[in-house]
Amino acid sequence: MDMAHLASVLLPVCTSFRYAVALAPGAPADYEVAAELCVPQDSPRDTVLLTVHGTTYSSVYWDFPYQPERYSFVRYANAAGYATLNFDRIGTGDSDRPPSLQVTPTAQAYVHHQLAEALRSGELGRAWSRVVLVGHSLGSIISVQQAATYHDVDGVVVTGFLHTYGPGLPQLLLNVHPAAIDPSFAGAGLDLGYLTTRPGTRGSLFYYRPNADPAVIALDEATKGLGTSGELAEFALVNTALTSLQVDAPVLTVVGRHDTVFCGIAPCGTLLSGTTLEPAAYAPAAELEIVVVPNAGHDLNLQINAPTAYAAIRGWLDERFPPLGN
């Protein structure tokens, strides 16, 4: 999909709102998620994509404001006829911030389950026939947990995520610190369990720098979000095959060849990398497909060749979820 096509497509109808959620079944809906639903005009598609960003990010990751014709997945998906619900996960962006230890992958999976149910029921303005999760990094881990626990979605796209870890993960853990002492969050009143990346580290942590625009990295630093100690304490426990083997919806995995966080000891797509082992983490019902994007690191959306990843996702969506009646 080229820039001329994007320019010719009718702008989607986008609605920003806040939605009350609970952190666990039976708990009160005391917190609110900030979200934006964008619905393409005159599209025959009945599929909505629920985009789930990773740790220390916000919804900005999926709708990047710099050169959006290249970097915004939301814009790309809308132009292809897919509605998107892009939101700030609980604890970051404009969403509410509970005590950090309560913000775990398990709690987030339940929050996102509530959003998926709202999309299906028509509570958000239209009853969608199909809901597909599109996650990145920790957002992918949460998406797998949601699909495995609630069986509430029709498909799962996981990006920047495998079940193996690489040398970039310990580097990431060494380069987060309490957001309360970070200049970007000064005066925000955060408890010490809210975390963010140390200033100036995102370029080396998340990018394949030979194929990254320095202006993108700078804006990524300026718009960075939050993670929590609750996420760190739990993510390794839920990111196992015991969880993903329960997924019975189709799964697409898209990973950068140079993703040092998850590829393992070798570049993704090679014999010694995590992509070789990944099929064993899913049941046959998931019909796992894996795409390795060249010249890309962990942050696929923010590499210069982001449209390559987007085209792979769209191709899979088009094949799996054609308009009803086709």
Tell me if 137 is assigned to some domain. yes
pLDDT above 90 coverage of the chain, percent? 92
Greatest distance between any 2 Cα atoms in the chain: 55
For 326, the token pair is 């086709």
Average pLDDT over residues 251-266: 97
The pLDDT tens digits of the residues spanning 86-143 come to 999 999 999 999 999 999 999 999 999 999 999 999 999 999 999 999 999 999 999 9
Arithmetic mean of pLDDT over the chain: 96
Q: How confident is the model at residue 2 (pLDDT cuts 50, 70, 90)?
A: low
Tell me if 182 is assigned to some domain. no
Tell me if 31 is assigned to some domain. yes
User: What pLDDT sits at residue 172?
Assistant: 97
Alpha helices (runs of H) in the chain, residue ranges in sequence order: 3-8, 68-71, 73-79, 105-121, 138-150, 168-174, 202-206, 214-222, 229-238, 241-244, 274-277, 306-320
Average pLDDT over residues 228-256: 95
Tell me if 178 is assigned to some domain. no
Tell me if 202 is assigned to some domain. no
| Nearest residue to 202 via CA among 221, 219, 183, 225 | 221
Q: Are 87 and 35 in contact (CB under 8 A)?
A: yes
For residue 89, give its domain range.
Answer: 3-170+207-320
Q: How confident is the model at residue 10 (pLDDT cuts 50, 70, 90)?
A: confident
Q: How many domains does the chain have?
A: 1
Tell me if 82 is assigned to some domain. yes
CATH number of 309's domain: 3.40.50.1820
pLDDT above 70 coverage of the chain, percent? 97
Q: Bigger pLDDT: 1 or 276?
A: 276
| Number of C-beta neighbours around residue 253 at 10 A | 27
The pLDDT tens digits of the residues spanning 51-87 come to 999 999 999 999 999 999 999 999 999 999 999 999 9
Tell me if 275 is assigned to some domain. yes
